């Protein structure tokens, strides 16, 4: 496979509504779209949307890495594996830039072979992937209204963002949402590292009777001892998220010390291949993986959905409802219907592509 040319295009996707987390307020997603021109005029697309507050590189570092990668790949030939090796060797410390080139190379290879991207990653489409709805930090009434609306649309799993208000208020909000949607809906919570281990254990103990499916990243990403303690002592399953952006965090999770679940975000972990490799290692140790975007556009969301089809076992929902979050046209195939996305056995990303 020969890369005839690499181009970069700046993009900015505004959120329909700002998302508040422990790291601050997120209003848009900015970065670059990568376009690879391959054999016979085929195109491969990828996205780099850095998120430094969650463990990624800065925008300036991402752009510098993208420019270096474009130079390294322009005019180069090789197998998909060889070209991906080149990407990893060139920019090991720029995960969003690597994710963009990794995704574009996979997309191009899938088109060249005439197969769905999911097949390159190890899946056998068609595959149905369950998707969770996101309930942002807000007041109790607003959260209940959002939860009921998501339930009416067919979502069976809701994720509530916590960590932005007082814990007493968060407990009231969580209880109100559970009461509003009933016991048949799965609830998970995401603290984005807002708590200490002591605060997390106390809060999770108080709300355990609500049937919470899991808690994502209850403590800081660098607090491995605290995460291990919550995993050991809390009555609710723990999912490692931002902790996995650190090599020592990934190693500790594979040692079985940190969490029951791993949240795979290609934009923070360097792309599809690195996520597939980690997912296989995690599965061999009994750790369940959940694929989630960092609110990418349709390209990154489509690639993450194919990754979920290839790595996700069971009926746990993945965080792929970017179309609900961004003011952006998405292909209809990527808009969740009744809480699921269907990965079709069509070449490339298996969806109609917006202009």
Q: For the chain, what's the residue count?
A: 355
Cα-flanking dihedrals φ and ψ of residue 245, to 5°? -75, -10
Roughly how many angstroms between the first and final C-alpha of the chain, as a whole number? 26
Question: Between the CA of residue 46 and those of 36, 74, 262, 327, what are the distances in Å?
Answer: 9, 15, 24, 19
Residue 188's φ and ψ, nearest 5 degrees, are: -130, 155
Dist CA 263 CA 191 (whole Å): 13
The tokens of 304 are what? 């993450």
- With tokens 């056998």, the residue in question is 124
Q: How much is the CA Rg of the chain, to the nearest whole Å?
A: 20
Q: Where are the alpha helices (DSSP H) in the chain?
A: 59-73, 80-90, 95-113, 117-121, 140-152, 167-181, 197-207, 224-233, 247-254, 266-269, 272-284, 298-311
DSSP track, 266-293: HHHHTSHHHHHHHHHHHHHTT-EEEEB-
- Between vectors from CA 196 to CA 193 and to CA 197, what angle results, nearest 5°? 105
Q: Which residues are catalytic?
A: 161, 265
- Alpha-carbon distances, residue 65 vs 52, 72, 79, 216 (angstroms): 14, 10, 22, 30
Residue tagged 């995993």 (tokens): 231
């Amino acid at each position: 496979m020969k890369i005839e040319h690499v181009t970069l295009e700046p993009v900015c996707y505004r959120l329909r509504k700002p998302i508040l987390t422990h790291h601050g307020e997120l209003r848009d997603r900015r970065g670059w779209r990568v376009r690879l021109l391959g054999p016979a005029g085929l195109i491969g697309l990828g996205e780099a949307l850095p998120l430094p507050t969650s463990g990624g590189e800065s925008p300036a570092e991402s752009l510098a890495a993208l420019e270096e990668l474009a130079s390294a790949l322009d005019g180069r030939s090789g197998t998909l594996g060889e070209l991906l090796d080149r990407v990893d060797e060139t920019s090991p410390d720029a995960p969003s830039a690597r994710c963009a080139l990794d995704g574009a190379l996979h997309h191009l290879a899938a088109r060249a072979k005439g197969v769905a991207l999911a097949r390159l990653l190890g899946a056998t489409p068609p595959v149905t992937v369950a998707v969770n709805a996101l309930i942002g930090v807000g007041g109790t009434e607003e959260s209940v209204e959002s939860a009921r609306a998501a339930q009416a649309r067919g979502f069976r799993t809701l994720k509530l963002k916590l960590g932005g208000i007082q814990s007493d208020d968060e407990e009231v909000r969580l209880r109100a949402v559970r009461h509003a949607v009933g016991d048949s809906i799965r609830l998970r919570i995401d603290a984005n590292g807002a708590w200490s281990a002591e605060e997390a254990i106390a809060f999770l103990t108080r709300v355990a009777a609500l049937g919470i499916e899991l808690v994502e990243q209850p403590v800081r990403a660098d607090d491995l001892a605290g995460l291990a303690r919550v995993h050991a002592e809390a009555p609710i399953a723990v999912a490692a998220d931002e902790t996995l952006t650190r090599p020592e965090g990934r190693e500790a999770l594979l040692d079985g010390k940190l969490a029951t679940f791993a949240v795979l975000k290609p934009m923070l972990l360097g792309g599809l291949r690195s996520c597939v490799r980690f997912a296989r290692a995690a599965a061999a140790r009994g750790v369940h993986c959940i694929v989630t975007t960092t609110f990418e556009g349709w390209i990154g969301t489509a690639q993450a959905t194919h990754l979920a089809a290839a790595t996700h076992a069971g009926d746990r929902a993945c965080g792929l409802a970017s179309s609900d979050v961004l003011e952006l046209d998405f292909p209809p195939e990527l808009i969740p219907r009744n809480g699921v996305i269907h990965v079709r056995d069509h070449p490339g990303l298996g969806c109609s592509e917006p202009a």
